[in-house]
Amino acid sequence: MQNSADSAVFVPHFHWDREWYEPFQVFRHRLVTALDTVLETAEANPDFRFTVDGQMAAIEDYLEMRPENRDRVVALVAGGQLAIGPWLILLDEFLCSGETIVRNLQMGWAAAAELGGSMPIGYLPDMFGHVAQMPQILARAGIEHAALWRGVPGSVDGHAFRWRAPDGSEVRTEFLFDGYDNGLDVLLVPDQIGRALGEYAEMTAGRWGGDPLLAMAGTDHNAPDPRLAAWLRRASSDERAITIATLDEYIREHVRDEVSAVVTGELRSHVRGNILPGVLSVRLALKQRMAVAERTVDHAERMNALWSRRDDSPFLSLAWHKIIESSAHDSVVGSGTDETSDQVEARLAEAAQTARAVRDAALAEPAARVPSDGHLVANPLPFPRTALAEVDVVAPPEGTVLVATSDDGSVHPVQLVSQAPTVLADERMDASQLERVLRRIHRRELFGRLIDHYELTPGSLVFHLAEVPSSGPFDLLILRREVAAAAAAHPGEWRVLTLEEARATALVPVEVPASGLTSFRVAPAGTAPGLPTAPATATDRTLANGLVEATVAADGTLDVTGTDGTVLFGVGRLVDGGDRGDSYNYAPPARDVLVSEPAEVTTELLENGPLRSRIRVTRVYEWPAALSSDRDVRATRTVPTPVETLVEVRAGEPFVRVSTSFLNQSADHRLRFHVPLPEPVAGSASAGQFAVTERGLTAEGGWGEYPLPTFPASAFVSAGAANVLLDHASEYELVGDGSELAVTLLRAIGSISVNIHPLRDEPAASEIPAPGAQDLGVRVENRFAVLPSATGWQGANAVALAEDFRNDVLVTRGTAPADGQLPPAATGVRVDGTDVLVSSIRRVTDEDRGAGTELRLVAMSATGSAARVTGPFTEATTVDLLGRPLSTTPVADGLELALGPWEIRTVVVR
């Protein structure tokens, strides 16, 4: 084999951002032109090769506009000239769930298979860092190689390394140390390619060892020059052989297998490329929309698999496709223009809507067996739990006690938290206008309720509405005839009164089986039963439930005491500072003003148990309105901004739920929620993408981007005795030399990129205004939970509690005739095990074995986990991450699984 001084391999490609500084359809117009050129170039020159950026979305988007070119694409893939796949989209790995990463790979691989097959390379050229479990995800899909640029630590001095996941899985990884466009500088002057290549080879010789130099010949949003192959043929010589190849061919045919450097875990070093960490916190709504869409489709899959006779896989696939499209590294990150971000937000909303339809249809089937005066409760989690169901009920007369009765006859207390008005409309009109009122009635529905009965007397028509009518049939034609006769007999003014039965919102503690169903009805009783756990109680400033206590301090912060007696003082200190950065990187102004003390604090007791207690804390802050014109000073004009913090404790929960809300009226600022720690710590741990990743107080720098130690977290973040359970992917930092945990609530900026950035040497993009990223006039809301524990995240059982916090039970009203018998509770698939995450339960179909239920389990522990899976099945097949069977075993009484440290295991039960 020739050494790098004598040979080079050029890989023609492009990098295609599906949407960014222009919206998707504008970029697609350019994509079609570029791929037209690629196909023509490849067909005219059999030696030409092209790598389509590792993502099938570019091919799908192209063929939707050029369906007549499908056979041409298939022929070029078959001939080895076109390398496609394996991803559906090049995603931001930290801003979506691990399950979304897996589905991305599955859908990309399947789409490539329809056109001839995927490139077996985990190509990740431009992501802003890489998650720790990516090597295992690739390896469990049968992919042995990766190629990437950003995030690789300075310890790697060659062009390849072995990337190891926490479970020990490895993939050989090609390090694109000069970026995915390193070959372009060599091609600037076509008749000087030989000389330029020689200089580049000499400059980078220490990287290549005995392997040929890899020249990635491509850049963003442009096809290579059709003359490229001719240029390279002329430049090739006996002294320096030049080959054109796909990336797959370079790795399989031109490099040796021996690689000594090993890197374990996530890649978030700044040393060889900007990782642009500010994308974790800009455009908060996109991160929240992503979490909602992922959670909704997950629940929909579980309900459809376990409780529906209908296979809604096409709708679920559509929802997943839209989620995956939105996970692109210039989409969910929020680094695009306002119109691009609006499109991403709408796409995520559409994904959630599609999934919601499947979820609700699946629940409608068992709800048809529940009487209409009862409610069905579904548990999306595969372990039994007691959860609060919030339902609408008929308000009892004053002094009457309500209780909830389950199918087994057990009785539970009910807490009323609000009552709705009963007068929906009180109108006066001439008799000749009564017909107009009747046109509001649709069969029996009026104002969203059903007519229970009506009273018609001279000059008066009174409708009595109910959610579930107690009277007999209602005939609208009879009503029309009676009203017409009464109006003719009594002309003049009439009063039309529309009354609803008194309604109230009730909280009910419900014991729900694993992945299961139960039902209950609420009715009056003589006395209220006791709680199996200590009740949630409240005073004007303190909430408690026997497990956790939260006291509001004079400054509006919280002192939170955990089950083991650990106390976190000053939780929720809000710190607001200026931000003169952009969508990619935070930057403080040269003369910053930090605002951390409220001008006014008020508290209000909202609920006083026994199931849920709540206090609302309102703190008014004087935040500067914006930055000055030179962007280095915060404005002297301030805007009084009330921040409402809802503090909540539920019976039986060992954590305090916290929600913050405010109307943002300031520009160019960053707001963070601080959790002071009992003592300084040297590091943190955060959960996301199938792992809990430990990090120190600093980040590795060296490229020209200041290495701010701001990090991502998805399910929870833990630092010392503080564990914060999260609702969506968030940014955090340990500040004050490890004495406080700071979680970002808002980062408001006005530009995609700025040319001169104090913490980044080079622009990340063009300086394009993005006023929508200021979130001005937007109500900014965040929710999380605080869990004190001296034993850290594992001792606090944070993996399971984070799932409990993020996944509410699903509640729907029954539709069977009222007053019938409640159906018995039903258990779905149950998974028992400590630190075992179940990321997916879904319906799958195999041509040979038929329908089954697929479960994906993860051992969220460095020591592994034992899991026991029980349910209505008699065999279990272990499959890889692409669904290919590996082994099948009969199951008599539950499936016992010994999961290795951080192992991802997928099984299909039948």
pLDDT, tens digit, 9 for 90 and up, residues 300-319 = 999 999 999 999 999 999 99
pLDDT, tens digit, 9 for 90 and up, residues 652-699 = 999 999 999 999 999 999 999 999 999 999 999 999 999 999 999 999
Pick from 732, 700, 696, 698: nearest CA to 713? 732
Confidence at residue 503, expressed as pLDDT on a 0 to 100 scale:
87
The rounded distance, in Å, linking the Cα atoms of 90 and 53 is: 8
State yes or no: pLDDT of 2 exceeds 70: no
- The mean pLDDT of the chain is 95
State yes or no: pLDDT of 4 exceeds 60: no
Give the tokens for residue 387.
């959860």
pLDDT, tens digit, 9 for 90 and up, residues 337-396 = 999 999 999 999 999 999 999 999 999 999 999 999 999 999 999 999 999 999 999 888
Confidence at residue 699, expressed as pLDDT on a 0 to 100 scale:
95
Confidence at residue 1, expressed as pLDDT on a 0 to 100 scale:
38
pLDDT, tens digit, 9 for 90 and up, residues 545-573 = 999 999 999 999 999 999 999 999 999 99
Say if CB 324 and CB 89 are below 8 A apart. Answer: yes
pLDDT, tens digit, 9 for 90 and up, residues 183-235 = 999 999 999 999 999 999 999 999 999 899 999 999 999 999 999 999 999 99
Give the tokens for residue 672.
């963070």
> Residue 420: pLDDT band by 50, 70, 90 thresholds?
confident
Give the tokens for residue 801.
């509690």
Percent of the chain's residues with pLDDT above 70: 99
pLDDT, tens digit, 9 for 90 and up, residues 844-885 = 998 888 899 999 999 999 999 999 999 999 999 999 999 999
Local structure of 687: helix, strand or coil: strand
Neighbouring C-alpha atoms within 13 Å toward the C-beta of 209: 13
Say if CB 125 and CB 87 are below 8 A apart. Answer: no
Give the tokens for residue 434.
């009564």
What 3 state SS string does 571-640 have? ECEEEEEECCCCCCCCCCCCECCCECCCCEEEEEEEEECCCEEEEEEEEEEEEECCECCCCCEECCCEEE
Say if CB 699 and CB 759 are below 8 A apart. Answer: no
Pick from 454, 651, 690: nearest CA to 546? 651
pLDDT, tens digit, 9 for 90 and up, residues 108-149 = 999 999 999 999 999 999 999 999 999 999 999 999 999 999
Confidence at residue 530, expressed as pLDDT on a 0 to 100 scale:
86
Indicate the burial class of 666 (C-beta count within 10 angstroms; 0-12, 13-18, 19 or more).
Answer: buried
Q: What is the DSSP string of 125-145?
A: -S-SSB-TTHHHHHHTTT--E
Residue linked to tokens 């009164």 = 497
pLDDT, tens digit, 9 for 90 and up, residues 246-288 = 999 999 999 986 898 999 999 999 999 999 999 999 999 999 9
Local structure of 763: helix, strand or coil: coil
> Residue 399: pLDDT band by 50, 70, 90 thresholds?
confident
Neighbouring C-alpha atoms within 13 Å toward the C-beta of 16: 34
The rounded distance, in Å, linking the Cα atoms of 813 and 375 is: 4
The rounded distance, in Å, linking the Cα atoms of 237 and 16 is: 32
| Residue 662 CB contacts under 8 Å (≥ 6 apart), including other chains | 641, 642, 643, 644, 779, 780
Residue linked to tokens 């099984």 = 907
Neighbouring C-alpha atoms within 13 Å toward the C-beta of 807: 29
State yes or no: pLDDT of 5 exceeds 70: no
